């Protein structure tokens, strides 16, 4: 059983090791922190933590560093989520508030989060399996050319140009637009694809040459929206912390390029009492990320679709700051998308 004082010793070991990358010894703990006990007593506490596999000596006669298990206990019980500064909160609001569409806001999100945490930042597109069609717009560009615009309730806007074999009748374009919205509005993407499959035959034969290319293009747009994917920024931060990876960072770089594995990992992560999910070290081994920690928080769009935003980095990271940053960005992202 680990005592309260031993847990506090673990807390300061994590804090000092994250700050310095140097193993932490009992003497420095006594000198830096007011435990009110001798170095020998702190050494006993450290021995207990070592017996519990929460810390380890990387070299003989060295200080101690946290293990995966130690970081896990720190995150679960000991980490205090420090509130972001007023300047950081203002930076989030200002930078993300300048976004023009969903692609832009997610690109800005990972760039900002990477700067706030000095880690690799990741954001998942809203869960399109639960997205619905909000609106379809048809914009005539030329006598035989249309711009088709598919807008989902998750904020995604997909545009394509369609050319028809015959010139377009403006009145018929308006009718087609109205019928598309009446048929598709509010449908999930899978249901929308089915409805589109049946739409061409609902028009008179002399109109199908116009309807068919529009419908085919909208089906392509629906399936383009259903693809799950991630946006990433800050991979260069891994190179700056290469010393924190006992082996090579190349397997980590290869793993983060495999979006399928990361999306599976995101899907398995459950938030804690702070609204942040953490996967640490060996918990990520099956995804090729056994030397990394991944922190995520959920965000929602105006349509209620849930996705995740987070950071990936070495085990030696500032968990308190990074968890607070991830949570703050996720909350602002939800608010921003909810307004659109």
Question: Mind listing the pLDDT tens digit for each residue in 255-297?
Answer: 888 788 888 888 888 877 678 999 999 999 988 899 999 999 9
H/E stretch holding 23 reads none
Per-residue pLDDT at 321: 93
Tell me the β-bridge partners of 297.
309
Tokens of 77: 């019980």
Q: What is the per-residue pLDDT for 42?
A: 93
Which is nearest to 300 in space by CA: 265, 259, 269, 331? 331
Reading the block at residue 302, the tokens are 């105006």
pLDDT at 103: 85
Which one, of 29, 49, 50, 51, lies nearest residue 39 by Cα? Answer: 29
- What's the token pair of residue 76? 């679960």
Question: Given this model, what pLDDT does residue 304 score?
Answer: 63
Give the burial class of 39: count Cβ atoms within 10 A of its Cβ; 0-12 exposed, 13-18 middle, 19 or more buried.
middle
Dihedral sign (CA 114, 117, 118, 124):
negative
For residue range 205-250, list pLDDT tens digits in order: 888 888 899 999 998 888 776 667 889 999 999 888 888 888 778 8
Contact indicator for 181, 214 with CB cutoff of 8 Å: no
Task: Indicate the CATH number for domain 4-78.
Answer: 1.10.10.10
Helix orientation angle between 189-197 and 208-225, rounded to the nearest 10 degrees: 160
Pick among 3.30.559.10, 3.30.43.10, 3.30.390.60, 3.40.710.10: CATH of 129-225: 3.30.390.60
Q: What is the pLDDT of residue 50?
A: 94
How far from 326 is each of 71, 148, 192, CA to CA, in Å? Answer: 18, 36, 34
Q: Which of 153, 202, 168 is nearest to 305 (CA)?
A: 153
What is the predicted pLDDT for the residue at 243?
Answer: 85
Q: Which CATH superfamily is domain 86-127+228-338 in?
A: GAF domain (3.30.450.40)
- The pTM (predicted TM-score) of the whole model is 0.76
Using an 8 Å Cβ cutoff, are 278 and 294 in contact?
yes
Q: Which of 130, 333, 85 is nearest to 231 (CA)?
A: 333
Low-confidence stretches of the chain (pLDDT beneath 70) = 61, 127-130, 225-227, 273, 302-305, 339-340
Residues 92, 112: Cα–Cα separation, whole Å: 7
C-alpha 195/C-alpha 174 separation (Å) is 19
Copy the structure tokens of residue 49.
Answer: 């933590």
Domain residue extents for the chain: 4-78, 86-127+228-338, 129-225
β-strands 157-163, 230-233: how paired? unpaired
Q: How does the average pLDDT of the chain come out, rounded?
A: 88
Dihedral over alpha carbons 186, 189, 191, 192 (to 10 degrees): 70
Beta strands in the chain (DSSP E): 55-56, 65-66, 120-124, 133-142, 145-152, 157-163, 230-233, 277-280, 292-300, 306-314
Give CA 305 to chain center in angstroms: 14
H or E, element range at 27:
helix 26-32
């Amino acid at each position: 059983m680990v005592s309260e004082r031993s847990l506090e010793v673990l807390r300061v070991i994590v804090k000092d090791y994250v700050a310095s990358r140097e193993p932490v010894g009992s003497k420095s703990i006594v000198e830096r922190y007011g435990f009110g006990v001798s170095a020998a007593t702190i050494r006993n506490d450290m021995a207990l933590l070592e017996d519990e596999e929460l810390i380890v000596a990387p070299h003989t006669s060295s200080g101690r560093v946290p293990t995966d298990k130690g970081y896990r206990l720190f995150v679960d019980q000991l980490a205090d989520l420090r509130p972001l500064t007023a300047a950081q909160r203002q930076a989030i609001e200002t930078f993300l508030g300048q976004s023009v569409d969903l692609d832009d806001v997610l690109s800005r999100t990972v760039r900002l989060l990477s700067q706030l945490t000095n880690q690799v930042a990741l954001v998942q597109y809203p869960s399109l399996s639960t997205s619905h069609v909000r609106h379809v717009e048809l914009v005539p560009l030329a006598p035989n050319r249309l711009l088709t615009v598919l807008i989902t309730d998750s904020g995604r806007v997909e545009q394509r140009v369609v050319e028809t074999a015959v010139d377009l009748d403006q009145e018929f374009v308006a009718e087609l637009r109205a019928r598309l919205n009446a048929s598709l509005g509010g449908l999930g993407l899978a249901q929308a694809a089915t409805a589109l499959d049946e739409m061409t035959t609902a028009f008179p034969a002399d109109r199908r040459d116009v309807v068919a290319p529009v419908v085919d293009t909208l089906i392509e747009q629906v399936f383009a929206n259903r693809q799950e994917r991630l946006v990433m920024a800050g991979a260069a931060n891994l190179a700056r912390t290469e010393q924190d990876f006992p082996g090579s960072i190349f397997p980590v770089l290869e793993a983060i390029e495999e979006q399928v594995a990361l999306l599976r990992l995101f899907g398995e992560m459950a938030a804690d009492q702070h609204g942040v999910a953490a996967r640490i070290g060996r918990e990520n081994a099956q995804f090729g990320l056994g030397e990394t920690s991944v922190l995520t928080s959920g965000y929602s769009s105006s349509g209620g679709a849930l996705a995740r935003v987070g950071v990936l980095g070495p085990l030696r990271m500032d968990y308190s700051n990074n968890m607070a940053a991830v949570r703050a960005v996720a909350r602002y992202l939800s608010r921003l998308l909810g307004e659109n």
